[in-house]
Amino acid sequence: MEIRELLEKIRGRRVLVIGDIMLDHYVWGDASRISPEAPVPVVDVTKDSFAAGGAANVALNLASLGGAPSLAGWTGQDEGGERLEEILSEAGVTRIPGLVGGDCQTIRKTRIMVRNQQLCRIDREGGPEDYRLDQGPALESLESAINQVDAVLLSDYGKGAISEALIAWVVEKTESKGVPVSLDPKPRRRLRFSGLDLLTPNRAEALELAGLSPHLRGEFPAAEVCARIWERHQPGHLVITLGADGILLSSDGKPDRLIPTYARQVFDVSGAGDTVIASLLLALSAGADLPSAARLANLAAGVVVGKVGTATVSSEEILEYLALHPDLANPAAETVMS
Catalytic residue numbers, as ranges? 274
For residue 169, with 0-12 CB atoms within 10 Å meaning exposed, 13-18 middle and 19 or more buried, which class applies? Answer: middle
18 close to 166: Cβ distance less than 8 angstroms: yes
Q: How far apart are CA 57 and CA 61, in angstroms?
A: 6
326's CB contacts (< 8 A; 6+ apart) are: none
Question: What is the distance between the terminal CA atoms of the chain, rounded to a whole angstrom?
Answer: 21
